[in-house]
Each structure stands twice: as C-alpha cells, then as structure tokens.
C-alpha cells in the first residue's frame, strides 16, 4: 500500500511537469501570434487552454483523493498541498497566454503592439518562455540554483513592464485609447506570467528544503 502511495505521489509530480510543458508552449505560441498577427496560431492557443484546464482538474481531483484516503503527514502532506497550489499558478499562466492570444484575435489583421514597443514585448516574452522552461527543468531535477535564475528573469520583466508605463505616460505618446488599453493589458499579462512562475519556483524550493523564504521584494 505504501509503495502504491509513493507511486501516486510521483505521478502528481509528473502531472505538474506535463502542465508546465504545455504552459511554456502556450506562451511561446501566444507571443508568436501576438508579434505577427497570426490569428490561426492565436486560435490554437485559445483552444489548447482547455487541455491545461483539464489537466489541472485531473491533478487536483487526484490530490484531494490522496488527502482524503491516505491521511498523509509531514513531507508527503507538503507535496500534495504544494501540488494543489502549483497547479493553480500553472493554470493561471496558461490563462495569461490565452489572454495574449485573444488580444491578437481582437486586433487582427493589425498587430497589437505599436512599432516603438515591439522589441520590449519580444524581450518580455522571451524571458517568460525562459521562466516556464526553467520551471519544467526545476520540477524534474530539483536543482535549486534554477530558483534565483527564475527570480532574476522576473525582475527583468518587471523592469520592462515599468518601462512601458513610462512610455505611455510621456507627452509624445499619441496612440489611440484602444491601442493604449491593449498595450497596458498586454504588458500586465506578460508581467503576471512571470510572477506566477516565481510563485511555483518558491513552492518547489519549499518542498525540497522544508523552509519557506519570503518573496523577493520589488
């Protein structure tokens, strides 16, 4: 019985890794659609989000079943509760990629980002994808040196996010209200994706060390 329980715990970890892989793919495709106004690719991202949601539901149901039937304690309890919390963050990351794809669809055949901000969004997206891929690696290897790397990438995204707000607040910014709203929303989606990645990384660190560290200050 104990061996079966450990196998089920291992399967929870595998399910989390699977969701993280899908999230990384979602952000990668969402940004490609965002940059090129590829509405077909945007539709793929939007449709694929249902798969992430389904996988999260499956994981959560299994985790709750283990809590109810196995009565886990100590590190096993931390793992199950941690899996529940991480699955929520990963699902939200998938939602944020979907939101970016929805902006693409909304503004098609035009691109969302005005020319002066294209490079900024490219940098944000590249760092978001890097965070998602490092999360997959962290889940598989438990190499905690990846955690500060994820934190550093997120800090860089935060700086880029702040820079966009500085840009649109300048007197020379003359874009339409709709474009300004799109620019603001897109920046927020990219920024929040990184924040959720940091949250997942901190939970993995806690599972490995048993110690909870305070969130990095802005």
Query: d(Cα 179, Cα 181) in Å, to the nearest integer?
Result: 5
What pLDDT does 215 receive?
60
- The pLDDT tens digits for 37-78 are 999 999 999 999 999 999 999 999 999 998 887 777 777 888
| Residue 156 pLDDT class (50, 70, 90 cuts) | very high
**Mean pLDDT over the full length of the chain:** 93
73 is written with which tokens?
Answer: 């304690």
Query: What integer pLDDT is reported at residue 1 of this predicted model?
Result: 53
Q: What is the pLDDT of residues 187-218, one digit of tens each?
A: 999 999 999 999 999 999 998 888 776 665 54
The correct CATH number of 2-209 out of 1.20.58.220, 3.30.379.10, 2.60.40.60, 1.10.10.60 is 1.20.58.220
Q: Which pLDDT score, from 0 to 100, does residue 76 have?
A: 84
Q: How many Å from the N-terminal Cα to the C-terminal Cα in the chain?
A: 46
**pLDDT the model gives residue 123:** 98
Peptide bond into 109 cis (omega under 30): yes
Question: Per-residue pLDDT tens for 160-180?
Answer: 999 999 999 999 999 999 999
Dist CA 86 CA 49 (whole Å): 17
Note every long-range contact of 47-53, with CB atoms under 8 Å and residues 24 or more positions apart, other chains counting: 48/22, 49/94, 49/95, 49/97, 49/98, 51/22, 52/19, 52/22, 52/23, 52/26, 52/90, 52/91, 52/94, 53/91, 53/94
Q: How far apart are CA 41 and CA 43, in angstroms?
A: 5
Q: How far apart are CA 153 and CA 155, in angstroms?
A: 5
Residue 85: pLDDT over 90: yes
Q: Residue 84's pLDDT band (boundaries 50, 70, 90)?
A: very high
């Amino acid at each position: 019985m104990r061996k079966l329980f450990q196998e089920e715990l291992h399967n929870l970890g595998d399910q989390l890794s699977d969701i993280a892989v899908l999230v990384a793919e979602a952000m990668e495709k969402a940004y490609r659609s965002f940059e090129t106004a590829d509405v077909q690719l945007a539709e793929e991202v939007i449709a694929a989000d249902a798969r992430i949601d389904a996988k999260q539901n499956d994981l959560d149901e299994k985790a709750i079943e283990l809590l109810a039937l196995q009565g886990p304690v100590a590190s096993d309890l931390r793992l199950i509760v941690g899996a529940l919390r991480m699955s929520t963050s990963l699902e939200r990351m998938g939602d944020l990629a979907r939101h970016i794809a929805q902006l693409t669809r909304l503004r098609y055949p035009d691109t969302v980002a005005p020319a002066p901000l294209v490079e900024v969004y490219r940098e944000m997206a590249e760092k978001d994808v890097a965070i998602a891929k490092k999360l997959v690696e962290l889940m598989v290897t438990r190499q905690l040196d990846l955690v500060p790397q994820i934190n550093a990438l997120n800090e860089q995204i935060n700086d880029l996010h702040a820079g966009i707000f500085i840009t649109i607040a300048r007197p020379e910014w003359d874009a339409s209200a709709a474009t300004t709203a799109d620019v603001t929303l897109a920046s927020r989606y990219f920024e929040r994706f990184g924040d959720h990645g940091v949250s997942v990384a901190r939970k993995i660190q806690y599972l490995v060390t048993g110690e909870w560290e305070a969130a990095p200050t802005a």
